[in-house]
Structure 1
Amino acid sequence: MRALVLNCTLKPSPGDSNTDELADVVVDALKKEGVEIARVRLADLDIKPGVSSDEGDGDEWPEVHQRLLASDILVVATPTWVGRPSSIAQRMLERMDAMLSETDDDERPVAYNKVAGVIVTGNEDGAHHVISEISGGLGDIGYTIPGQAWTYWNKGPGPGPSYAETDEGHDWSAKTGRAMAANLVAAAKALAANPIPAPPS
């Protein structure tokens, strides 16, 4: 089983990413379940605006698209900015829109029988809104979103330290992240054993 973690931080490598640090918890839990992991920081790539799987010269989304097709589990990790997902997360969803019209050999949308979950960080509130925004988009595209397929660390109202600057709330976020990983694997195994069929014509 393979999982792809897309980090939608605004910080390109090698900059520190609070979102990446919380993603480590989920990645470690997935590895303990025997899942093969690939991680991509989208800020490192030149991802053109658009709604197709390939926007032409210089577009680096097609490689991400191929990784999405090869993965059973998708984990989207995003910071919260002004109470919303990052602009990179929004561009990711816009580019994934093309998957709605792409089908596999059995005429199923290519995201069918794949599962997805969401990781959110931020030194402000809005985590549940961000989870809903990302999960809703992924569900539209065809992903199955298991129950409690998310974890987050948001400081709450007002300014404050970022995830890496404090230990506050980490135990809860880690416990929730481990549950997220377990639920993603369980749902992926269930779909592998009993796949969703192609939509009726």
Structure 2
Amino acid sequence: MRAVMINCTLKRSPERSNTEVLAAVVVQALRDRGVEVTTVRLADLDIPPGVATDLGEGDQWPGVHARLLESDILVVATPTWVGRPSSLAQRMLERMDAMLSETDDEGRPVAYNKVAGVVVTGNEDGAHHVISEVAGGLVDIGFTIPGQAWTYWNRGPGPGPSFTETDEGHAWSVSTGKAMAANLYAVARALADRPMGAPPS
């Protein structure tokens, strides 16, 4: 079984990403179950805006798209900025819009029988709103979202330290991340054993 974790931080490598640190909990829990996990940091890639899978020369989205197609599990990790998903998370969903019209050999949308979950960090509140926005977009594209397929950390209202600058709330976020991984894996296995068919015409 394969998974891809797409980190939508605005920070380029090698700058440390708070979002990646929490997402690593989910990644490791999936690996502990034998899942092969690859990670992608969108800020390191040239991904222009658009709603097509391939926008031509220089567009690095087709490589991400290939990872999505070969994976059974998608983990989207995003920081919260002004109470919303990062701009790169929104761009990811916009580029994934093309998947709505892409089908497999059996006529199913290519995101069918793939599961997805969301990791959110931010030293401001709004994590549940961010989870809902990202998960809602993924459902539209065809992904299955298991129950409790998310974890988050935020400090609460007002400015303050980021995830890697304090231990506050980490125990809950980590335990919830491990539960997220367990649920993603369980539903991915179920769909692998009994996949959904093509939607009625």
Taking structure 1 as the reference length, what is the TM-score of the superposition? 1.00
User: What residue is the counterpart of 1:6 in the other structure?
Assistant: 6
User: What residue is the counterpart of 2:80 in the other structure?
Assistant: 80
User: What residue is the counterpart of 1:146 in the other structure?
Assistant: 146
Percent of aligned positions with the same letter in both sequences?
77
Secondary structure of residue in 1 paired with 2:6? strand
CA distance in structure 2 between the partners assigned to 1:95 and 1:77 by the alignment: 16
Deviation string, structure 1 residues 35-81 (Cα, Å, up to 9, x no partner) = 00100000000001100000111100000000000000000000000
Taking structure 2 as the reference length, what is the TM-score of the superposition? 1.00
- Displacement of 1:166 in angstroms is 0.2
User: What residue is the counterpart of 1:136 in the other structure?
Assistant: 136
CA distance in structure 2 between the partners assigned to 1:48 and 1:42 by the alignment: 11
What residue ranges of structure 1 are gaps of 5+ in the alignment? none
User: What residue is the counterpart of 2:32 in the other structure?
Assistant: 32
One-letter amino acid matched to 2:7: N
- Runs in 1 of length 4+ with deviation above 2 angstroms? none
CA distance in structure 1 between the partners assigned to 2:90 and 2:190 by the alignment: 29
One-letter amino acid matched to 1:174: V
Task: List aligned pairs for 1:110-121, cutoff 5 A.
Answer: 110-121=110-121
What residue ranges of structure 2 are gaps of 5+ in the alignment? none
Deviation string, structure 1 residues 124-161 (Cα, Å, up to 9, x no partner) = 00000000000000000000000000000011100110
CA distance in structure 1 between the partners assigned to 2:28 and 2:4 by the alignment: 13
User: What residue is the counterpart of 1:164 in the other structure?
Assistant: 164
Alignment length, in residue pairs? Answer: 201
User: What residue is the counterpart of 1:104 in the other structure?
Assistant: 104
CA distance in structure 1 between the partners assigned to 2:21 and 2:82 by the alignment: 21
Secondary structure of residue in 2 paired with 1:46? coil
Deviation string, structure 1 residues 158-190 (Cα, Å, up to 9, x no partner) = 011000000000000000000000000000000
User: What residue is the counterpart of 1:65 in the other structure?
Assistant: 65
CA distance in structure 1 between the partners assigned to 2:128 and 2:154 by the alignment: 10
CA distance in structure 2 between the partners assigned to 1:64 and 1:9 by the alignment: 15
